[in-house]
Amino acid sequence: MVTGKLAPLATPCVGFMAVSAGAGGRFTVNLPPPPALTAMNPTQGLQGASVPVTITGTALSNGTLAVGTGITASGVTVVSDTQINATLVLAANAPLGPATVAVTTLGGTSNALTFTINPPPPVLTGIAPNTGATGSSVPVTISGSFLTGATLIVPADITVSGVTVGASSITATFAPAANAALGAHSISVTTAGGTSGAVTFNVIPPPPVIALIAPAAGLQGASVPVSITGSFLTGGAIVVGGGITATGVTVVSDTQINATFVMAVNATLGAHTVSVTTLGGTSAAASFTVNQPPPTLTGIAPAQGGQNSTVPVTFSGTFLTGVTLNLPAGITATAVVATGTQITANLAIAATATLGTNTISVTTGGGTSNSVNFTVNPPAPALTSIQPTSLTRPGAGSSTTTVTFNGANLDGTTLASFPVMPGVTLSNLQIPVGTRISQVKVDFTLTNTTTRATYQMTITTAGGTSNALPFTIN
C-alpha cells in the first residue's frame, strides 16, 4: 500500500484525472491532452440572428466555448470527444467581421476558429409621402430596417438633398425635375450588407383644368355622352355626384376626356358640379344640369287585393318624386311615400269596388304616366268548421268520404285550393251556384298507405288563403 498527500494544484481542475503512484512516494496526475479544433459549420451569420453550429476536433470532452464580443453561446452540448453542438446568438450590435471561437477543457484551451459576423441587408418598408409633382420639392421619410450607413439609389430625374440616415429611417428631400418622367420610380438603398428591395415614388403632373363640358344638361334617368376639354387631363377620373354616374370614361388626350353621364331616376334636379381628378390633384368644377322628365310606371306589387280590405302596395317606375296617384272609384290611398323609383302606399278597397282589372296612373310636375293594372278580387275566404274533422285510413284497399267545409267567401274554390296531403286523393268538388259561397264539399280518398297526420286545412282562392282548421287522418 502506498500512502501520501496530494498537494492542490495552483489552478483547480474539474473532472476526472488519472493518478498513479511512483517511486519514493510520489504521485503523478495525468491531465487530458489539450483540445484541438479542426472545423466549424457554418462559419458566418448575421447580426441579430441565432445560428446553430457544429464544432469538430479532438479532446473536446467537458469542453466549454469561448466566443468573441457580441456572441453568446447557448444550448452547448458536448456530443462526443470530437464534436460540440451549440447555438451562437449574435447581438444586433455585435461587431462586424471575424470573431474567434475556441474550446477550453481540463487539458487547456484549443486553437481558435473564425466565425464571421455580417450585417443584414437593408430592408425598405415604405416611403411617405409616395408622390410628388414635377418641378416641386417633397420632404420624404423612408422607413425600413438595417439602414445604418445607407446610400440612396434614385432615378436621374429626381434630385435628392438633405439626407439624414438612421437605423430604421432615412429623411431626405426629393425634387422631381420639371421634365421628369411621370409615373412610378423605384427607390432603393445600399449598405455594406447589400442592396435593398425598392419602394415606389410616383411623379405626378400638375393639377388638371376643365375648360368646357358639352352638352351641359340631361334628363333624370337618361344616359348622355359628354366631352370634357381642358389641360393636364391624362390619367383623369371624373368626379360627379347627385345621382349622376360617369361610365365609359376614355382619356382621349391630355386635353380631352369622353364619357357617358348616367342620370339616376332620382338624380337631384338642377345644377351639379363636375370635376376631374388626376395624380396631380382635382380640377376646378364645371356645371352640368339635370332636368325632370315625365314619370313612368313599370309595375305594382302586389297587383291585386280583395274587396273590403286594405293592401300595402309598391309601385316601381321612374321619375316618381312628387307624384299624385290617379285611382279608380272605390279605391283610396293613404300613407303615400314616393322616391324617384318607388311609391309605397296603402290601398283601401271598398266592399263595392269594381271586381276585375282597374287602371292606376300617377302625375308629377313632368306630366302623367302610363297606367298599370290592379285587380280587385272578392274577399278572402274564411273557414268556420270541417265535417268530419278526421278520417281513418282503411286496413286494405281504399275508402272515399265526402268532407264538408263551412265558412265564408269560398267562391272560386278548386281542388288546388286545398293543401297537399301525402296519400290522399281529392275529387268531386261540389260548389253551390251563386256568390258569397259559404260551403263546399269534396271527396277524400284514402288508402292503407296514406300518411297518418294532423293537417292544418286552408282554402286558397283569388281572394287569398283562409284561416287554418285541424284535420286528422288516423
Q: What DSSP assignment string belongs to 151-189? A: EEE--TTEEEEEEEE-SSEEEEEEEE-TTPPSEEEEEEE
Structural domain boundaries enclosing 87: 36-118
CA–CA distances in Å: residue 178 to residues 128, 202, 203: 21, 14, 10
Q: Judge if 176 and 226 occupy the same domain.
A: no
Structural domain includes residue 28: no
Q: Among the three residues 327, 354, 377, which one is the final residue of a domain in this structure? A: 377
Domain count, the chain: 5
Tens-place pLDDT, residues 154-211: 999 999 999 999 999 999 999 999 899 989 999 999 998 889 999 999 998 888 999 9
Rg (CA), the chain: 47
Residue 22 lies in a domain: no
Strands ordered across the beta sheet of 453-457: 390-391, 469-473, 453-457
User: Has residue 16 been placed in a domain?
Assistant: no
Q: Which of 228, 293, 233, 283 is nearest to 261 (CA)?
A: 228
Residue 320 sits in the same domain as residue 334: yes
66: domain CATH number?
A: 2.60.40.10
Report the alpha-carbon distance of residue 227 to residue 211 in Å, rounded. Answer: 11
Extract the C-alpha cell encoding 344. Answer: 309605397
Residues in the chain: 474
Q: For residue 224, what is the enclosing H or E element?
A: strand 223-231
Among 176, 204, 232, identify where a domain stops.
204
136 grid coordinates = 416641386
Q: Domain check: are 149 and 232 in the same one?
A: no
Decide if 19 is inside a domain. no
Q: Tell whether 307 is covered by a domain.
A: yes
Please list the ranges in the chain whose pLDDT falls under 50.
1-18
Q: What pLDDT is attached to residue 22? A: 52
Last residue of a domain, one of 99, 118, 137: 118
Distance, in Å, from the CA atom of 348 to the CA atom of 342, rounded to the nearest integer, reads: 19
Q: What is the per-residue pLDDT across 129-168, written as a single tens digit (0 to 9) for each? A: 999 988 899 999 999 999 988 999 999 999 999 999 999 9
Q: Kind of pairing, strands 44-46 and 113-118?
A: parallel
Cα separation of the two ends of the chain: 113
Give the whole-angstrom CA distance, residue 194 versus residue 90.
19
Can you give the three-state secondary structure of 78-134, one letter per residue?
EEECCEEEEEEEECCCCCCEEEEEEEEECCEECCCEEEEEECCCCEEEEEECCEEEC
Same domain, 92 and 148: no
Could you tell me the CA-to-CA distances from 93 to 53, 172, 328, 366 in Å, in that order? 20, 25, 90, 79
Q: Quick one: 114 and 127 in the same domain?
A: no
Q: What pLDDT is recorded for position 24?
A: 56
Enumerate the β-bridge partners of residue 4. none
Same domain, 114 and 141: no
Residue with cell 310636375: 365
The string of DSSP codes covering 246-273 is: EEEEEEEETTEEEEEEEE-TTPPSEEEE
Per-residue pLDDT, 8: 47
Q: What would the grid cell of residue 424 be?
A: 290522399
Quick one: cell of 89?
A: 446568438
Strands 131-133 and 199-204: parallel
Residue 415 has phi, psi (to 5 degrees) of -60, -30
Nearest-CA neighbor of 6 among 29, 22, 23?
A: 29
pLDDT of res. 36:
97
Whether residue 83 sits in one domain with residue 165: no
Angle at 165 between CA 160 and CA 167, to 5 degrees: 145
Residue 435 included in any domain: yes
Residue 2 lies in a domain: no
φ, ψ for residue 339, nearest 5 deg: -120, -175
**Residues 459, 445 share a domain:** yes
C-alpha–C-alpha distance, residues 84 and 53, integer Å: 8
CB atoms within 10 A of CB 111: 13
Dmax over CA atoms of the chain, in Å, equals: 146
For cell 304616366, what's the residue? 369
Contact status, residue 319 vs residue 294, Cβ threshold 8 Å: yes
**What are the two backbone dihedrals, phi and then psi, of residue 463, each rounded to the nearest 5 degrees?**
-85, -10
| Residue 236 located in a structural domain | yes
